[in-house]
Amino acid sequence: MVSFTKDLILHFSLIVFLGFMYNYLYMQRREIHQRRWFIGSVFLAASLTMIFPVEFDQSLYFDLKLIPFFICMFYIGPAVSIGLLGLIIGVQSFITGSFVPIILLNYTIIFILFLSLRKFYSHKSLKNKLLIGLGVILIVGTTRAGALLIGGSLEQIILLLIYTFVSFIALAGTIYIIEMTNFQLKTINELHKAEKFSAISQLAASVAHEIRNPMTTIRGFMQILQNDRSLPGNYDMFLSVSLQELDRTQTIIDNFLSLAKPNNSRKHHLDLTALLYQIIEFMKPYAHMANINISSEIEENLQVNADSQEVRQLLINIIKNGIEAMEDGGNFTIHAYIRNEDIYIELVDEGIGMNKKQLERLGNPYYSTKEKGTGLGLMISYDIVNRMKGSIKVDSQMGLGTKFTILLPAVTHRIDT
Ligand code: ADP
Ligand code: MG
């Protein structure tokens, strides 16, 4: 019993160490090969738990290698997990002195199971992730209990219960620490993004403002010149073109200033359904030129409280990006619906898609992969949605396409009785 407890404490620390390692690597030592170090820690933990397994009695040993494998599958990736599987088989063969086919079989089944759960897992809340962990531990515990019921003693079964419970606590603790670390990292990144954006828009606004004054002066003088009858014929035309261009510049600056100064937006009840249909009609010719068909499924009577110009700009930015991403044509789908007081607008393209790195950079000013891109479209779109107290979610797969989901608070009509 004493050695059992000692072993168990050792294993518990070994597993929870993974959580702390993750936190340390990703929070304190950003940038410096965190992934490599974390993979190393997981491999080390798996090897140690196998070399020093928990002793139930002289003939019965269990280890916790499943947990590093779980962490590896769900938080590192399938390719590395295959490497880990190789290591597990290697260590096991080394310990027992011969190849153990049952481990290969078991872990191949577990690998396939985890692989099919991966996507599902990544979208779940912390509570559900813990439940999935509990499920995995229970399944393994039950198969072991089944084996013991046939050939084991009562004491062994009690030890197994304790062991299973401690395994779960260790896994839960590790998942919790990793998830909290990821959550903190995400918050920090969002803060940085917001900070960068507000600094840039403030700077840009002050520059734009400064440009406005000299422009007014130039415009005034040019008008005086235009009224001068003694100018040779052509000059009159030059001046009117220059004035027109100046006015155009003025409009661009005004628009920009209204963006940089969020308080200028004029919010009102907006019929989003009608606006969406309008925008689709507006974008259709552009889409057809690129051999793209826009299809839509839009619920009736979607209402938001917003500035219609802004919502228009937001949607056009995202639809335009989608169209630009589909170099070989295809379908662009717009789906809008209301669920629990939130309006969801899903904009799905079948374009080139983005990888994880690209997704992280979305919305950063001047981030563009296009030759003639500005890298401002999405930044402005994120800002518009933020100010509407909504959010944007992006799912993308390289070569398959991208889905932008915009969530906006709906205006619901209350019927007073
Ligand atoms: P721009 O369109 O001027 O490049 P945006 O801010 O609109 O600037 O977009 C930034 C970058 O995000 C694009 O250059 C592109 O790489 C990527 N992107 C945006 N939307 C998509 C999409 N639907 N599919 C693939 N990549 C996209
Ligand atoms: Mg764009």
Domain boundaries, the chain: 2-190, 192-260, 268-409
* Strand duo 401-409 + 342-349: pairing: antiparallel
Contact 352 CB / ligand 1 (< 6 Å): yes
The CA 389 to ligand 2 mean position distance, Å, reads 22
- Encode 51-79: b = buried (16+ Cβ within 10 Å), e = exposed: eebbbbeeebebbbbbbbbbbbbbbbeee
The CA 98 to ligand 1 mean position distance, Å, reads 54
Structure tokens given for 23: 């936190």
The CA 387 to ligand 1 mean position distance, Å, reads 21
Quick one: which of 262, 264, 261, 220 has its CA closest to 243? 220
Domains 2-190 and 268-409 share a fold: no
Cα–Cα dist 87/101, whole Å: 14
Cα–Cα dist 101/15, whole Å: 26
Quick one: which of 322, 325, 313, 332 has its CA closest to 377? 313
Structure tokens given for 206: 């002050």
* Strand duo 330-339 + 342-349: pairing: antiparallel
Contact 401 CB / ligand 1 (< 6 Å): no
Quick one: which of 142, 147, 129 has its CA closest to 70? 129
Contact 329 CB / ligand 1 (< 6 Å): no
Cα-Cα-Cα-Cα torsion 209, 382, 404, 371, nearest 10 degrees, comes to: 40
| pLDDT at residue number 291 | 92
Cα–Cα dist 109/116, whole Å: 11
Cα–Cα dist 313/158, whole Å: 65
Write the DSSP assignment of 40-58 as a string of letters: HHHHHHHHHHHHSPEEEET
| Ligand closest to CA 357 | 1
- Residues 381/318, Cβ–Cβ less than 8 Å: yes
Ion ligand 2: protein residues whose beta carbon lies under 5 Å? 321, 377
Architecture of domain 268-409: 2-Layer Sandwich (3.30)
- Residues 50/88, Cβ–Cβ less than 8 Å: yes
- Residues 212/255, Cβ–Cβ less than 8 Å: no
| Ligand closest to CA 380 | 1
Quick one: which of 265, 266, 345, 268 has its CA closest to 305? 268
In ligand 1, the atom with minimum distance to the C-alpha of 321 is 20
User: What is the overall mean pLDDT for the chain?
Assistant: 86
Contact 313 CB / ligand 1 (< 6 Å): no
Instruction: Report residue 328: phi and psi, to 5°.
Output: -105, 25
Query: Considering the entire predicted model, what is its pTM?
Result: 0.54
The amino acid that residue 327 corresponds to is: E
Across residues 282-299, what is the average pLDDT?
90
How would residue 416 be classed by pLDDT, with cut points 50, 70 and 90?
A: very low
How would residue 2 be classed by pLDDT, with cut points 50, 70 and 90?
A: confident
In ligand 1, the atom with minimum distance to the C-alpha of 363 is 6
In the predicted structure, residue 415 carries a pLDDT above the cut 60: no
Contact 402 CB / ligand 1 (< 6 Å): yes
Write the DSSP assignment of 389-417 as a string of letters: T-EEEEEEETTTEEEEEEEEEPP------
Taking only the tens place, the pLDDT of each residue in 328-372 is 999 999 999 999 999 999 999 999 999 999 999 998 877 888 877
Structure tokens given for 415: 């019927």
Contact 377 CB / ligand 1 (< 6 Å): yes
Contact 375 CB / ligand 1 (< 6 Å): yes
Residue 382 CB contacts under 8 Å (≥ 6 apart), including other chains: 197, 363, 392
* Strand duo 292-298 + 330-339: pairing: parallel
Contact 323 CB / ligand 1 (< 6 Å): no
In the predicted structure, residue 196 carries a pLDDT above the cut 60: yes
Residue with tokens 């400064």: 210
Cα–Cα dist 40/64, whole Å: 17
Q: Of 121-135, 228-242, 337-351, which one has max mean pLDDT?
A: 337-351
Pick the CATH number of 2-190 from 3.30.70, 1.10.1760, 2.50.20, 1.10.3470: 1.10.1760
| pLDDT at residue number 295 | 96
Quick one: which of 267, 356, 268, 282 has its CA closest to 315? 282
How would residue 404 be classed by pLDDT, with cut points 50, 70 and 90?
A: very high
Taking only the tens place, the pLDDT of each residue in 86-101 is 999 999 999 888 877 8
The CA 12 to ligand 1 mean position distance, Å, reads 46
- Residues 165/137, Cβ–Cβ less than 8 Å: no
What three-state secondary structure class fits 364? coil
Atom 16 (ligand 1) nearest CA: 369
Contact 381 CB / ligand 1 (< 6 Å): no
In ligand 1, the atom with minimum distance to the C-alpha of 362 is 12
Structure tokens given for 75: 């938080």
| pLDDT at residue number 191 | 67
DSSP assigned state of 262: G
